[in-house]
């Protein structure tokens, strides 16, 4: 497809389970971002990749959160030992270069931890 694709769209996890969220950016896009959006809030930055290099992971809330982009295209956000406070929409975004005005967001993975 032409846009940023995320899967799964919806995920229900039991507390303590590990989850993996996948992002397929727009083909050729160098920059890839992960954001977390809680209900009724704006997105909050988690991490940024330029190609395969993770240049900023300052927004990851704990060491239970891990992201990778091994070949510089598809990215996976992994959350270990999920907690209820991890329930949110996880948005992936990509851009061709470094300009912030050309970022395209995917529709998100909705995670509910029960």
Kindly list the residues in this chain that would bind other proteins in the complex (CB under 8 A). 4, 31, 33, 40-45, 48, 55-56, 58-59, 91, 98, 100-101, 103, 105-108
Whole-number Å distance between alpha carbons of 95 and 64:
26
Q: How far is the CB of 16 from other proteins (least distance, A)?
A: 28
Residue with tokens 């809330």, as numbered in its chain = 61
Judged on CB neighbours under 10 Å (0-12, 13-18, 19+), 83 is middle
Nearer to other proteins, 25 or 43 (CB): 43
Nearer to other proteins, 27 or 101 (CB): 101
Nearer to other proteins, 1 or 14 (CB): 1
CA atoms within 13 Å, Cβ hemisphere of 47: 21
Q: How far is the CB of 9 from other proteins (least distance, A)?
A: 10
């Amino acid at each position: 497809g032409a846009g940023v694709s995320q899967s799964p769209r919806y995920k229900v996890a039991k507390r303590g389970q590990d989850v993996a969220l996948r992002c397929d950016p727009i083909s050729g896009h160098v920059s890839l971002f992960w954001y977390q959006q809680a209900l009724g809030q704006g997105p909050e930055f988690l991490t940024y990749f330029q190609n395969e290099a993770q240049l900023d992971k300052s927004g990851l809330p704990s060491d239970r959160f891990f992201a990778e982009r091994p070949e510089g295209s598809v990215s996976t956000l992994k959350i270990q030992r999920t907690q209820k406070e991890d329930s949110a929409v996880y948005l992936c975004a990509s851009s061709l270069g470094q300009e912030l005005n050309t970022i395209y967001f995917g529709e998100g993975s909705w995670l509910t931890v029960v």
